[in-house]
Amino acid sequence: MLKSSIRRIATLFLCLSGLAIAQNQIAWTSNPVVLDDGPSSWPTLLQLADGSWLAAYAVFPNPTYIRVKRSFDSMRTWQQVSEIHEDGRDLDNPRLFMRADGVPLITFRSVITGQSYEIEVYQTADNGSLFQFLSQVDWDEHLGGLYEPSLATLPDGSIAAFYTSEKHQHEHPSYSQIISERISADGGLTWGPEIFAISQPGTARPGEPNMITFQDCPQLALFYEMCATENCLGHVSYSTDGRSWSPIGPPIPSTFQDVQALQTTNGLIFATSNSYDVIVSPDDATSWIDTNSHPFSHGEWPAIAQTGPTEIAVALSGAGPQGQIGQYIQFGDISNLGLDHVATSRACSQAGPDLQPCKPGRPCAQ
C-alpha cells in the first residue's frame, strides 16, 4: 500500500512537472522562412504603419552593403525593395526604427577598416523603397572602432542613439569599450554630446545595446552584453529619463552575446541571444523563466519581433538546418506560456527612483 501511494504521488508529480514545462514552452514552426540564402549577417525587423514588415541586413563580400526587403504577409514571404551602398566603405550592424511621426529610420556603421568608423542614420519616405542619408551620430578616425548602433524613443519624445565605442581606450581612466549614447531633439537630424550610458574602467566591454520602455509606467530598460570581464553575459540597467542609467545591472540567465529584448502587447518581456535560448519575464526584467525551447540550433546575431497577438518571430544569421549561411526566421506560438494573468495584473515593478528594479508593492516613479 505504501509503495502504491508513493508511486501515485510520483506519477502525479511527473504529470504536474510535465504540465509546468508545457505551459512554459513556445511552439516553434518546423521549417524556417528563408529571408536570404546568400552570405549576409545581422538581421533587423520593423513593422510599418500599414502592417507590412521591413527587414534589413548586411550583405557580403566586401564592400558590404545593406539590403532591405518587405513582407505583406506577416514575414512569410519577402520581396527586395532597396539597397544602401557607400563608395569604398563597408556597411553593417543595421537596426531599423520607427520615428514618432511614422517615418522609418535605419542606423548602421560605415567603416573603412583601420581608418574610419562612423555611425550613420538614413530615413525613408516611401516605406523602404529608397533610403536617404539623414545624419551622422558619431565618428572616429584611427583611434578605435564604433559598433552596434540602435535607436529608441525617450519619454520626452526625443530619440536616443546607443552604440558601442572604443574611442576612450587612450584616456585616463582607460575604457576598453563603453556603451555611448547621444540624443536628438529634432527627429535624428542633429545629435547632442556623448553620454557614457554603460561604462566600467579597465578591460570591461559592454556592447550590443537595445532599449525597451515598460508599458505600465514610464521606465526604461537597456539590455546589453558584458564581455572581457565576463563571458558576454546579458545584463539590464534602468533609467527614468533615458539620460542617466543605473550601474551595470544584474545578469540575465541563459544569455550569451547580443541579448535582444522585446516587450509584447500583453506586457511580457522576451529575450534571446547567441545562446539560442528564448526566455521570458512577467515582471519587467526582475525575474526570468526559460521557455525550454529553441527556435534554432545554429546561427548568431538575433532579431526578435511580435507578429501577432500570440506569435513572436526570431531572425538569425547562419541559421540554416545544418548551419547554412543566410538569414532565417522562425515563428513561435506563445499562447501556452500561461503567464498572461501575471503580466497583466501585476503592480508596476520596474525601475524606481533609485534606478533599480522595484518589487511589487513598492510604487514606481510616475
pLDDT of residue 250: 87
Q: How many CB atoms lie within 10 A of CB 274?
A: 21
Q: Which of 187-196, 211-220, 302-311 has the lowest mean pLDDT?
A: 211-220
341 pLDDT above the threshold of 50: yes
Q: What is the mean pLDDT of residues 143-170?
A: 94
Q: Is 53 domain-assigned? A: yes
Closest listed residue to residue 243, CA positions, set 191, 193, 188, 195: 195
**C-alpha span between 105 and 184 (Å, rounded):** 13
79 pLDDT above the threshold of 70: yes
Q: What is the CATH number of the domain that holds 226?
A: 2.120.10.10
The CA dihedral of 305, 121, 142, 197, to the nearest 10 degrees, is -60
pLDDT band at residue 141, thresholds of 50, 70 and 90? confident
Contact 338, 24 (CB under 8 A): yes
Q: Is 245 domain-assigned? A: yes
pLDDT of residue 25: 86
- Beta pairing class for 300-308 and 289-290: unpaired
Q: What is the mean pLDDT of residues 329-352?
A: 68
Cell matching residue 342: 501575471
**C-alpha span between 314 and 359 (Å, rounded):** 30
pLDDT of residue 191: 98
Contact 41, 92 (CB under 8 A): yes
26 pLDDT above the threshold of 60: yes
pLDDT band at residue 201, thresholds of 50, 70 and 90? very high
pLDDT of residue 179: 98
- Beta pairing class for 27-28 and 311-317: unpaired
**C-alpha span between 297 and 277 (Å, rounded):** 10
How many Å is the Cα radius of gyration of the chain? 21
353 pLDDT above the threshold of 90: no
Q: Is 264 domain-assigned? A: yes
Strand partners, 239: 220
Q: Is 317 domain-assigned? A: yes
pLDDT band at residue 342, thresholds of 50, 70 and 90? low
- What contacts 311, CB < 8 A, 6 or more positions away? 74, 331, 332, 333, 334
Q: How far apart are the first and last CA of the chain?
A: 60
pLDDT of residue 343: 54
User: Mean pLDDT, the chain, as a whole number?
Assistant: 88
pLDDT band at residue 347, thresholds of 50, 70 and 90? very low
The CA dihedral of 226, 229, 233, 236, to the nearest 10 degrees, is -40
Query: In one letter, which amino acid is 79?
Result: Q
65 pLDDT above the threshold of 90: yes
Per DSSP, the residues of 114-131 read TTEEEEEEEEESSTTS-E
Q: Is 303 domain-assigned? A: yes
For 46-58, the pLDDT digits (tens) are: 999 999 999 999 9
pLDDT band at residue 164, thresholds of 50, 70 and 90? very high
- What contacts 334, CB < 8 A, 6 or more positions away? 26, 264, 268, 270, 280, 310, 311, 312
Q: Is 73 domain-assigned? A: yes
Query: How many domains does the chain fold into?
Result: 1
Q: Is 178 domain-assigned? A: yes
- What contacts 150, CB < 8 A, 6 or more positions away? 95, 97, 107, 161, 162, 163, 209, 210, 211
Decide which of 288 and 343 is more confident.
288
Closest listed residue to residue 312, CA positions, set 262, 255, 252: 262
pLDDT of residue 24: 62
Q: Is 366 domain-assigned? A: no
pLDDT band at residue 131, thresholds of 50, 70 and 90? very high
Q: What is the mean pLDDT of residues 104-124?
A: 95
124 pLDDT above the threshold of 70: yes
Range(s) of the domain holding residue 311: 2-345
Closest listed residue to residue 305, CA positions, set 78, 75, 70: 75
Angle at 65 between CA 61 and CA 70, to 5 degrees: 120
Closest listed residue to residue 258, CA positions, set 327, 317, 322, 199: 317
6 pLDDT above the threshold of 60: no
Decide which of 339 and 131 is more confident.
131
For 291-325, the pLDDT digits (tens) are: 988 999 999 999 999 999 999 999 999 999 889 99
